[in-house]
């Protein structure tokens, strides 16, 4: 049932998301910014803030479950860092821009005139609201479908793919570009019996700790620390992301 919609205005978006909403009204609510509600005097529950709250929690759970399965040998610190980077505001904004969510926002005149369609916080919140709407529409399975269509390809491409193949080399390159220095690896602990040693290492650059890692050898621990650092490092700021 299409409800208020005689035609489906979200057909192209649903193809991108990989999920077809049963309730188009619910998806439409994900695009209703609070500025529009204030100007139109709409019901307090009709903007996308509640959906954004729900979507944030849903995304955190789905991302955690995916990373838990994807990296069975990684420790909690690595998984936490990976989830943080994958679900960060910057990552959400980039994905929202990629699928042009800004063009669908329902904004008040003031928000429209001040660049609200491209504002990072609006875009990130809207993408989370879409996930919240999907959860209400089809449960965790629906939200997970969208996650795998949008977020997983992002995880498996670009910087993250390079980090998987050569994390120490990639981190060296980034440190040289940003701070004109090389990362420094320090052994924190060497524990366990001789036949099952575990090494814990931290990596530092520019006077700050970037990440920690564990491994059955010092080399493996350094690689894990570099991988954690790459996942925790924020992307370099650009003029389009504020």
Average the pLDDT over each of 64-78, 91-105, 175-189 and give the range with the smallest value: 64-78
User: Under CATH, domain 11-156 is a member of which superfamily?
Assistant: Ribonuclease III domain (1.10.1520.10)
pLDDT at 159: 41
CATH of domain 166-232: 3.30.160.20
As annotated, the residues of the chain forming the CATH 3.30.160.20 domain(s) are 166-232
Q: Summarize the confidence of residues 122-142 as an average pLDDT.
A: 96
> pLDDT tens digits, residue range 143-163?
999 999 988 876 654 444 444
Helix axes 167-179, 218-232, angle to 10 degrees: 50
Q: Which two tokens stand for residue 180?
A: 């004109």
- Is 239's pLDDT higher than 50? no
Q: Residue 127, by phi and psi: left (phi above 0), alpha (psi -120 to 50) or beta? A: alpha
The confidence band for 141, taking pLDDT boundaries of 50, 70 and 90, is very high
The confidence band for 128, taking pLDDT boundaries of 50, 70 and 90, is very high
The DSSP line for 61-99 is HHHHHHHHHH-TT--HHHHHHHHHHHTSHHHHHHHHHHT
As annotated, the residues of the chain forming the CATH 1.10.1520.10 domain(s) are 11-156
Would you name the residues annotated as active-site residues? Answer: 56, 128
Q: What is the pTM of this model?
A: 0.66
> pLDDT tens digits, residue range 201-210?
999 999 888 9
Spacing of C-alpha 115 from chain mean position: 23
Q: Summarize the confidence of residues 30-59 as an average pLDDT.
A: 84
Q: Which two tokens stand for residue 135?
A: 């959860």
């Amino acid at each position: 049932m299409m409800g208020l919609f005689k035609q489906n205005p979200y057909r192209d978006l649903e193809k991108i998301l990989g999920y077809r909403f049963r309730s188009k009204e619910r998806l439409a609510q994900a695009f209703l910014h609070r500025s529009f509600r204030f100007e139109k005097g709409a019901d307090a529950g009709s903007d996308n803030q509640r959906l954004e709250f729900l979507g944030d929690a849903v995304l955190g759970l789905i991302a955690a479950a995916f990373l838990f399965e994807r990296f069975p040998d990684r420790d909690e610190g690595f998984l936490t860092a990976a989830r943080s980077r994958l679900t960060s505001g910057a990552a959400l904004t980039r994905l929202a821009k990629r699928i042009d969510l800004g063009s669908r926002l329902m904004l008040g005149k003031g928000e429209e005139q001040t660049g609200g369609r491209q504002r990072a916080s609006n875009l990130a919140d809207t993408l989370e609201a879409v996930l919240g709407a999907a959860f209400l529409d089809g449960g965790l399975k629906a939200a997970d479908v969208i996650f795998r269509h949008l977020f997983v390809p992002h995880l498996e491409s670009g910087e993250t793919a390079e980090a998987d193949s050569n994390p120490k080399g990639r981190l060296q390159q980034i440190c040289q570009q940003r701070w004109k220095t090389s990362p420094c690896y320090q052994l924190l602990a060497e524990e366990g019996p001789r036949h099952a040693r575990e090494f814990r290492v931290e990596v530092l650059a520019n006077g700050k700790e970037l990440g920690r890692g564990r491994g059955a050898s010092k080399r493996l621990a350094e690689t894990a620390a570099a991988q954690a650092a790459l996942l925790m490092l924020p992307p370099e700021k650009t003029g389009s992301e504020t």
